[in-house]
Amino acid sequence: MKTTYRNFYRLATLTVISLALLAFASTAAAAENSQTMSKKELKTLLAAASTPADQLKLAAYYHDKAQRLTAKSQEFSAQADILAKEPATIESKQGISCNCTSHYRYFSKLYAQEAKDSEALAVQHEQLAQGRGEHK
């Protein structure tokens, strides 16, 4: 019984440290990318984008978003890999570990798909800037 609690506290400590590092990294990235647009600025630019420069700003925004989402996807994948190596320490009544790898794998795939979608939007806005895109 003591071993189970010891493993739980080790896993909980590892999780807390990982989340703290994740929060620190995302805060540092947000400070580094202080030139990113707010949601309001993005909506305004999307509604009024008429010049190639506007389209390139939107493309840069979506490229940046794709990079951030890719990094987030990789972080969740790494966390899933760490948890996969640890034995399940707490089980619910259904016998499923509360801190399971499938949770992290799911969000890793979700962020990877969102990154792919953002990259596609970036390419679309680059094409519009070059006059090769279709106007909606």
Its pTM surpasses 0.95: no
Q: What is the pLDDT of residues 8-33, one digit of tens each?
A: 556 555 565 665 555 555 545 544 44
d(CA 97, CA 67): 31
In the predicted structure, residue 129 carries a pLDDT above the cut 80? yes
Q: Quick one: average pLDDT of 66-88? A: 89
CA angle 103, 22, 90 (to 5 degrees): 40
CA distances from 100 to 14, 95, 121, 123 (A): 14, 11, 33, 36
Q: What is the pLDDT of residues 52-75, one digit of tens each?
A: 999 999 999 999 999 999 999 999
Predicted local confidence at residue 24, as pLDDT: 56
What are the sequence ranges of the domains in the chain? 2-129
CB 125 within 8 A of CB 62: yes
Predicted local confidence at residue 34, as pLDDT: 40
Q: Quick one: average pLDDT of 85-93? A: 64
